[in-house]
Chain A
Amino acid sequence: MSRAEDIAQDLLARMLDAGAARVTPDILQPAETLLDLYGEDIRARAYVTHDPAMGEMMLRPDFTVPVVQAHMAEGAEPARYAYAGPVFRKQSSLRAREYLQVGYEVFARDIEAQADAEVFALFARLLDGYNLRPVTGDMGLITAAVAGLSTSDRRRAALLRHVWRPKRFRALLERMRGQGALATERAALIARLRTAPPAVLIEQAGPHLGLRSEDEIAERVASLLEDADAAPIPEGQAQALEALLSLAAPARAALKQMRAMGWDALAPALDRLEARLDALDAAGIDTETLPFEASFGRTTMEYYDGFVFGFTARDDLPPVASGGRYDALTAVLGQGRAIPAVGGVIRPDLLASLEGGQ
């Protein structure tokens, strides 16, 4: 552990030199906030304990949430924060359950592209000398593409809700194209719902129990019937979306390919990507060679909604560093207020093991 701690202290010092203020969030965090944010899956990944006065608590599984909360409560703008310390994750395998994270977060309005570039370029500098592969992505492109589909608001919302679950996302998209197992099951349900009004079907089914009311059931029946009449998502759009999701190319070439798709709904997001690439160039990153993968960040980084990045040593290991933009998270935790935010973390223990292997 000691080499990892040395690396952590060095990284933290260099982040403070870059203008960050040090923050030291508590290890014990209220479980409720994290559960509401991440859903039940976090229970399988985080250590939960009980405090007689505070209720359910978690050993912090990451720093981002408490750092955002602290900033939303009392931070001045713009702000740069750095931190270092252990996080705790349950693991089924032999991977570390307690490991260090060193992180850097920027909260700033109206300079999103520059802030994205600042964080990425800082990480690239801090990690210089290690043999790592950088990769970038942009969740904002996927959400823009979904928002641009010619379909109902309800279908777009259902797809957006599952952007971070690629398998489920694909199954939903398939159903909305009128294909696959889910479409068949849905057709059977619709046929039954058309035989009588919901109130009659509920009455015939048996006595009603529970908090989910007959109104709520009838409301969903109505929305299901409405959805059944909606036209399938056009094949051309569905295929364009799939082509976008599988795009992997150097950043500038990827931008050119996406522009060439001629998809109007993507234009504002592509303008933001271009501004970010310009800012990265200005910060000394070669965007002609910088890898871009449109689906990067969809499985592991649940709250990121814009720029995402990672640095990996090997594909079978967790990334040595990762980060991204999480504007929506600040709105969720800010109780009515929001601020654009971008940041990332480095895992010093993985860096130490890389040194050992050399």
Chain B
Amino acid sequence: MTIKLGVPSKGRLMEQTFEWFADRGLTLSRSGSAREYAGVVEGVDGVELVLLSASEIPRELAAGRIHLGVTGSDLVRETLPDWRASVVEVAQMGFGHADLILAVPVTWVDVDTLDDLDAAAAAFRARHGFRLRIATKYHRLVRDHLRAHGVADYQLVDSQGATEGTIRNLTAEAVADITSTGETLRANHLKILQGPPIHSSQATLFAAKAASWRGSEDALGLLSARLGVILSSEAFA
């Protein structure tokens, strides 16, 4: 029984994932040409490498088509309803850090916190006749966060890229987006609301509850020893 390990197929996230496993004695590499999305794992038998888009890894894990997968913790929480029912967090990998935050124009001198945003949204709706628009691609995470904090009179508008530009273009009044340094936000004259971020994301190794783990005990034992984490098929059932 082969364990399928899904990792991001390109970019810095792929390189850092390869380095993380290399530090633990496992060599991941592409098989064949650099364009081929298949790979090999050296250092332990019975593990197969699958290269996937980071955004597809949550769904592949939920479907049980891969056993283990590396992706951002934000993507798992955003993509999978009730994510704890589908995957187990095996290891936080210490790279790919980014915070999902809410930001408003720097000139909103009356808005520091969610408490302020809620009040501003009520006044905005009364004045303009529609709910204050927040542009984001993280609908589930943002909605859950705003509900937990009792913010009302807002609407989410979908933005799959260049989200910071939506306010200038008058298609949103606020944004919820991923940032690591805040550079893009500052360049677009936006400020982050005070308080903890909606989610602090990092690259994370997940295990799939829906995958078939039968016959993988030996490989799991070897992986546990190498990775310094406890991997057992019972824990994923």
Contacts and interface: CB of A to CB of B under 8 A. Distances in A.
Q: Are A and B associated in one complex?
A: yes
Interface of A: 35-36, 39-41, 43-44, 90, 92-93, 158, 161-162, 165, 167-169, 171, 175, 182, 185-186, 188-189, 192-193, 198, 201-202, 205-212, 214, 216-217, 219-221, 224
Dominant secondary structure of chain A at its interface with chain B: helix
Nearest to B152: A39
Interface of B: 81-82, 105-110, 112-113, 115-116, 118-120, 122-124, 127-128, 131-132, 139-140, 143-144, 146-147, 149-150, 152-156, 167-168, 170, 173, 188-189, 194
A209 B150 contact: no
Given A158-B119, A212-B124, A168 B143 contact: no
A167 B109 CA distance: 26
Contacts of A207: 107, 189
Contacts of A169: 150
Given A206-B189, A209-B189, A39 B153 contact: yes
A164 to B, nearest CB: 9
25 contacts: A36-B131, A39-B131, A39-B152, A43-B139, A92-B82, A93-B82, A167-B150, A169-B150, A185-B115, A193-B109, A198-B109, A198-B110, A202-B109, A205-B107, A206-B106, A207-B189, A209-B188, A210-B170, A210-B173, A211-B173, A214-B107, A217-B108, A217-B110, A220-B119, A224-B110
A207 B170 CA distance: 15
Nearest to B83: A92
Nearest to A41: B147
Contact of A162 (B113, B123, B152): B152
Contact of A216 (B127, B140, B146): B127
Contacts of A43: 139, 143, 156
Contact of A210 (B146, B153, B167): B167
B181 to A, nearest CB: 18
Given A185-B115, A206-B189, A161 B152 contact: yes
Contacts of B109: 192-193, 198, 201-202, 205, 217, 221
Given A39-B154, A188-B112, 12 more contacts: A40-B155, A43-B156, A162-B150, A185-B112, A185-B194, A186-B115, A189-B113, A192-B109, A201-B109, A209-B189, A216-B123, A220-B110
Contacts of A189: 110, 112-113, 116
A169 B140 CA distance: 23
A171 B116 contact: no
Most A C-beta atoms less than 10 A away, residue of B110, B118, B139, B144? B110
A168 B149 contact: yes
Contacts of B107: 202, 205-209, 214, 217
Contacts of B122: 158, 161
Contacts of B106: 205-206
B105 A40 contact: no
A224 B113 CA distance: 14
Which of B115, B144, B153, B170 has the most chain A CB atoms closer than 10 A to its own CB?
B115
Contacts of A217: 107-110
Contact of B143 (A44, A219, A221): A44
Contact of B115 (A182, A192, A211): A182
B11 to A, nearest CB: 31
A76 B150 CA distance: 38
B110 A212 contact: no
A219 B81 CA distance: 40
Given A186-B115, A201-B109, A209 B168 contact: yes
